[in-house]
Amino acid sequence: MSYRENQHRVSLKTELPATARLGMFCEEKVLLMANYGAASTAYYASVSKLEQGMIRGSRETYAGQSVEIARIICEAALKELDDHVFTDGC
């Protein structure tokens, strides 16, 4: 289950670790956020490249495949971030 699906179950006082309650940061979360940011940027670039090819009339299947791969990577990075936030409470 992802963080978004279970957001309502987290109680700030009882279930979050002290670091989250005190406003300290989690290094793993920072790394996961950077990973998701890079994946999102790559996905956006792939979609833009595909869109430009469509405007020019190019019908390369490689561009469509790269968009699908980038989307899968982006979704996996977001799930990993959400799962971490849910389990760690940060």
Q: Please give the model's pTM, rounded to 2 decimal places.
A: 0.65
**Count of domains observed in the chain:** 1
Tally Cβ neighbours within 10 Å of residue 36. 20
The CA distance from 33 to 14, in Å, is 25
User: Greater confidence, 19 or 61?
Assistant: 61
Q: How confident is residue 49, by pLDDT bands cut at 50, 70 and 90? A: confident
**Which one-letter DSSP state was computed for residue 66?**
H
Averaged confidence pLDDT in the chain: 77
pLDDT score for 6:
45
88: pLDDT strictly greater than 50: yes
Domain residues for the domain of 9 are 3-88
Q: How confident is residue 51, by pLDDT bands cut at 50, 70 and 90? A: confident
